[in-house]
A and B are shown apart, each in its own frame.
Chain A
């Protein structure tokens, strides 16, 4: 009796999913936006892969967390080099944020960010932000340097991963921008605040 089950299964499969059932071998996604499948599977549909969406959501959450830090800089340090660096980073973060929000909307992902309120690697925590607000001068510069370095290093790390694993061309292009800008900003940061210095 059991082998007969194959027939209804195949029929059901075809009825539910159409052409998607024809693919044998690795498990095809049951929906184009099905998360967790291989990026290549989604790429065939020309859609955003789960990797693209996950990276965009994380990138938005990280930028939103960094901007309040950068906004503290002008009022708390007079060093023009720091002010210039903060301005550059803020500019690129704002631009990336607009692009990544737009791509997220295009992908059809939920508007609510799954990482909101969650301390992910590279993100400044609420307690750290409080400490930062209280600091001034060189102490403030050191704290900013630490958070900027943590943020930019993590942003570049995951953008590189998106470049390698992502599928959607405009999204991987944005990842390339993040890698390029982030690496340049890290280099400037290293000149202002050498990483070997005791912190």
Chain B
């Protein structure tokens, strides 16, 4: 992976980033989009490097599989510095996350992710079956170039390091104010729902959640933890949130089935499903995947190489 990875320009940028800190990295990324010449040259090079072979799968995607790490009633985005203030969360990826976690903590953290370069933290309300916690046995975080027009996909920017994104509505009072999606793995005949579904024996309850993919280009977080990000409008990023980044799709498969009455989330009914993401991907690894997988619309594996 080392040899094949980032182009030398990226390495220089990484050194620069390390020297000047995460904010400069973020704004360096922003700077690229404002220096059109450099941007074009970069894009051209990467296209040549990653010219899709005849067998390339034309889906803009790279994944991280991050198994369950730990549970805590903490939330470093919503309740920073306040351990115990939250409902129970199940954490994936970085193994150190607690109420006090900041970007440097994640960068130095061990991780449950494949690829191991992903030291990001992902968390969701814990699922309980008859009041016993159940954790997903498959937890995949897909980074996708979809939901926007192809010309927007082609100019997707890397997710800046330190960006925090929340998706879903922990306070939903019913299915109408929820974007949760529950379904059954290997039982497509069961219609998906915003609340728990009754999965046939031998299948698994699964949750899909899509994160907003349009960034305001400025803030790594916002006071309400939402307004620095937006969902696309008419297949494009709105003027208020002009920077398209890969769409994070969280897919969790729980080893449970049957009567939905036995299930609850720490946050309430199934429609309160939500996800939190604290990005700590190394800048160069994220940039390479955006260049090689998302922009040219190529399906990549965990190593960020075309499948």
Residues of A within 8 A of B (CB): 1-6, 8-10, 12-13, 16, 21, 23-28, 30-31, 33-39, 49-51, 53-55, 58, 109-110, 114-121, 154, 157-158, 161-162, 164-166
Contacts and interface: CB of A to CB of B under 8 A. Distances in A.
Contact of B82 (A5, A6, A31, A51): A51
Interface in B64-123: 73, 76-87, 99-100, 102-104
Contacts of A51: 79-82
A8 B34 contact: yes
Nearest to A48: B223
Nearest to A27: B22
B12 A2 contact: yes
B81 A27 contact: no
B285 interface: no
A39 B73 CA distance: 20
B87 A121 contact: yes
Given A39-B81, A51-B81, A118-B170, A34 B9 contact: no
A35 B162 CA distance: 12
A142 B34 CA distance: 65
9 contacts: A21-B23, A25-B21, A37-B221, A114-B171, A118-B170, A119-B87, A120-B87, A157-B84, A162-B81
Given A110-B223, A110-B224, A121 B73 contact: yes
B27 interface: yes
Given A34-B222, A36-B221, A161-B82, A4 B38 contact: yes
A9 B30 contact: yes
A115 B12 CA distance: 44
B223 A5 contact: no
Contacts of A157: 84-85
Contact of B99 (A24, A30, A161): A161
Contacts of B218: 16, 30
A128 to B, nearest CB: 14
A11 to B, nearest CB: 8
B104 A26 contact: yes
Given A3-B12, A34-B221, A54 B23 contact: no
B169 to A, nearest CB: 10
A35 B221 contact: yes
Contacts of B84: 121, 154, 157-158, 161
Contacts of B13: 2, 5
Contacts of B37: 1
B173 interface: yes
B28 A54 contact: no
B268 interface: yes
A9 B26 CA distance: 9
In order of increasing CB-CB distance, the 5 nearest A-B pairs are: A165-B81, A2-B9, A51-B81, A27-B22, A9-B31
B224 A10 contact: no
A119 B19 CA distance: 44
B57 interface: no
B79 A54 contact: yes
B117 to A, nearest CB: 19
A116 B172 CA distance: 10
A161 B73 CA distance: 13
Contacts of B31: 5, 8-9, 12
Given A2-B9, A39-B81, A13 B24 contact: yes
Given A38-B102, A118-B267, A54 B80 contact: yes
B220 interface: yes
A30 B79 contact: no
A54 B224 CA distance: 10
A31 B102 CA distance: 16
A54 B99 CA distance: 12
Listed residue (B27, B99, B268) with the most chain A CB atoms within 10 angstroms of its CB: B27
B143 to A, nearest CB: 21
B171 A54 contact: no
B41 interface: yes
Listed residue (A5, A6, A24, A120) with the most chain B CB atoms within 10 angstroms of its CB: A5
A6 B221 CA distance: 24
Contacts of A28: 21, 23
Contacts of B223: 33-35, 50, 53, 109-110
Nearest to B28: A9
